[in-house]
């Protein structure tokens, strides 16, 4: 990433794509309370995305607002990590994604709250409170499924094995950024390790680290997600309610 604009846009895209994926669970969650919880987490992510996209547009100075950045970019222009664009899979996969993303975003937003950039600091101070809840929620389900029945344990371990390699991209060093992602890895490990242990799950040891999202090289899944997310705006450009 290069400069405050790219950094801010990457965080915005993480939150926006995560919100879109979580919203797909609406009316499909395994229980009514969880349906509402996931919708609320999606709204939290969307709120952070809006703040970050607005600021990214101001940093860019090209006249693009949050809607233009959300709805009028193609997949190669998105800078989200591959983790958030992965399909939801079963409920275990979604909870593994939620745990790992929140364990990254919480120390990230906490660090941002103390950075010299006042706008990023304000966004970080707000978002870290929400990320703390997201982390608690994901951890609760990972432990519940991992240390549950034989079948739930099998599915939760399979989900962790599947999602884990995509966490490495979150922590690629960027010393010029307001917060260097590489500095967040210890906090992530300190949280995730004990959760997996309590869940009786094995932390994967794979060195495979798929990446490319921060440079605009994505999986095929992002194109389908964006097609659904952007269709109304692109079909009726400039429309007003």
Q: What is the pLDDT of residue 166?
A: 98
* CA–CA separation, 83 and 162 (whole Å): 10
* CA–CA separation, 205 and 168 (whole Å): 12
In terms of Cα–Cα distance, which of 79, 93, 87, 115 is closest to 24?
Answer: 87
Q: In sequence order, what E strands does 101-166 have?
A: none
- Residue 206 gets which letter from DSSP? -
- Within a 10 A sphere around the Cβ of 221, how many other Cβ atoms? 15
* CA–CA separation, 168 and 152 (whole Å): 25
What would the pLDDT profile of 90-140 be if each residue is shown by its tens digit? 999 999 999 999 999 999 999 999 999 999 999 999 999 999 999 999 999
Domain boundaries, the chain: 3-235
For residues 214 and 17, the answer to whether their CB atoms sit within 8 Å is no
Q: What is the pLDDT of residue 193?
A: 98
pLDDT band at 237 (very low <50, low <70, confident <90, very high): confident
Class of domain 3-235: mainly alpha
- Whether the per-residue pLDDT at 142 is higher than 60: the answer is yes
Summarize the confidence of residues 218-226 as an average pLDDT: 98
**pTM (whole model) above 0.95:** yes
Summarize the confidence of residues 172-191 as an average pLDDT: 97
pLDDT band at 234 (very low <50, low <70, confident <90, very high): very high
Q: What is the pLDDT of residue 240?
A: 78
Summarize the confidence of residues 23-43 as an average pLDDT: 95
* % of the chain beyond a pLDDT of 70: 99
How far is the CA of 18 from the CAs of 189, 197, 198, 200, 225, in angstroms? 21, 26, 26, 27, 11
């Amino acid at each position: 990433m290069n400069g405050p604009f790219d950094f801010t846009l990457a965080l915005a895209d993480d939150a926006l794509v995560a919100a879109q994926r979580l919203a797909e669970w609406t009316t499909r969650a395994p229980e009514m309370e969880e349906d509402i919880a996931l919708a609320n987490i999606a709204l939290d992510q969307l709120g952070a995305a809006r703040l970050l996209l607005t600021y990214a547009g101001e940093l860019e100075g090209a006249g693009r607002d949050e809607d233009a950045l959300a709805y009028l970019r193609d997949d190669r222009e998105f800078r989200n990590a591959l983790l958030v664009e992965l399909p939801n899979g079963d409920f275990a996969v979604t909870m593994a994604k939620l745990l790992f993303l929140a364990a990254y975003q919480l120390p990230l937003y906490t660090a941002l709250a103390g950075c010299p950039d006042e706008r990023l600091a304000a966004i970080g101070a707000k978002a870290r409170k929400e990320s703390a809840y997201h982390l608690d929620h994901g951890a609760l389900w990972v432990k519940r499924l991992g240390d549950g029945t034989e079948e739930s344990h099998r599915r939760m371990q399979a989900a962790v094995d599947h999602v884990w390699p995509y966490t490495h991209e979150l922590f690629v060093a960027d010393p010029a950024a307001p917060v260097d992602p590489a500095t967040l890895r210890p906090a992530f490990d300190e949280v995730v390790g004990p959760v997996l242990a309590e869940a009786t799950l094995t932390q994967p040891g794979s060195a495979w680290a798929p990446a490319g999202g921060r440079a605009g090289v994505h999986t095929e899944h992002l194109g389908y997600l964006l097609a659904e997310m952007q269709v109304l705006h692109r079909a009726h450009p400039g429309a007003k309610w």
